[in-house]
Amino acid sequence: MKYKTPIFLGIFYICMLNSAFANKGVFDLERWDNVITNIRNKATEQKISQSVIDETLKSPSIIPGIIKSDKNQSEFTLTLEEYLNRTVNTTRITTGRQKAAEYPTLLGRVENKYGVPKNVILAFWGMESNYGAIKSRHQLTNAFLTLIYDGRREEFFTKQLIALMKIADKNKLSINSIYGSWAGAMGHFQFIPTTLSQYGVDGNNDNRIDIIHSVGDAMYSAGNYLNKLGWNKNEPIIKHVILPADFDRTVLNGDVKKTVTQWSDMGATNVNGTPLKQSDALVGLIADTKEIAKRDLYQPQRNDEAQMADTDVAPAPVIHAYLTYPNFYRIKKWNNSSWYAIAIGELSGKLK
């Protein structure tokens, strides 16, 4: 069944007036009609209940601001130091400790069941939603329909909407009451629907999974996800080290793996300058090489004569870096950002 064109007239005029559609010239009513029909057909094929299908497509709307957000995602420009100052701050650490005191039993159950320490669950919770304080503002059905219509990642967002419809159907949730980010992440740990479908857990035993309103469901789901990613509670995530100023910058991307002993032999030490504990653990090494290169441009150059004369030329500063253990790379399967994974490591360390 296709919608008749008059239903879309209000949407048409709104969209025509919005700059997000100005570059396309006109709002394509035929394409929008095809999107709605395609979703209805796919949902029917997937045996989603008629009531959920009807609710999803009852008042479909375009959200022009979402298209603008999708097309104007800014390039990540923060230095590692700036990022850590923003994410691992005193307020987040203090709140995390308060949440640890508020949910000791729940966190303990998650750790016992999935082998993910309390401080790690708290760190993800803090990073993803500031412990539930960040409230999502987009109705996800319309967010996904908007992104499907736009077409840049049509197949991906179609899968997300169908998965969301299945979740609502299975868990008896009102689908148009589910809100998330403009890109479709939802709840305390910001799962997208396909991730929730695969790893969601009923943590409070009410026979449904609701990671938006139930902290129990959210924590159990996060623990299950990290467990399935292979989390090892006996391994660290990162270790802050310092390197000589002339250390080989080409290996500081986390891709080159050596034992801790080998990195130590190359000059890596503890932050206080003492030798690293010898270990055969195979780890990577990451530093903010862009920031190091920028710093080098402004660093006065020493020469042997200046050094011998003990002039005021400053010595080249050491390089701050992080040894990255296997859990670090598991975090990157959750969020493929090295800065994010380092922040989880730092924040979880503060919340021990």
Is residue 259 domain-resident? Answer: yes
Parent domain of 317? 238-324
**267-279 burial: b if 16+ Cβ within 10 Å, else e:** bbbeeeeeebeee
- The answer to the question of residue 176 being in a domain is no
User: Rounded to 5 degrees, what are φ and ψ at 107?
Assistant: -60, -40
Task: List pLDDT tens digits, range 297-315.
Answer: 655 555 555 454 555 545 5
Residue 336: predicted pLDDT:
95
In a domain, 54, yes or no: no
Percent of the chain predicted with pLDDT > 70: 86
* Inside any domain, residue 193: no
Planar angle of CA 27, 33, 34, nearest 5 degrees: 110
**Which range (8-22, 56-70, 259-273, 291-305) has the least confidence?**
8-22
Q: Residue 271 domain-assigned?
A: yes
Mean pLDDT score, 176-188:
95
- Express each pLDDT in 232-248 by its tens digit: 999 999 999 999 999 99
Q: Does a structural domain hold residue 305?
A: yes
**Residue 312 maps to a domain:** yes
138: Cβ contacts below 8 Å, ≥ 6 apart: 63, 66, 179, 180, 181, 182
Please give the pLDDT value at position 303. Answer: 54
The answer to whether position 281 is within a domain reads: yes
pTM: 0.87
* Domain count of the fold of the chain: 1
Higher pLDDT among residues 315 and 338, named by residue? 338
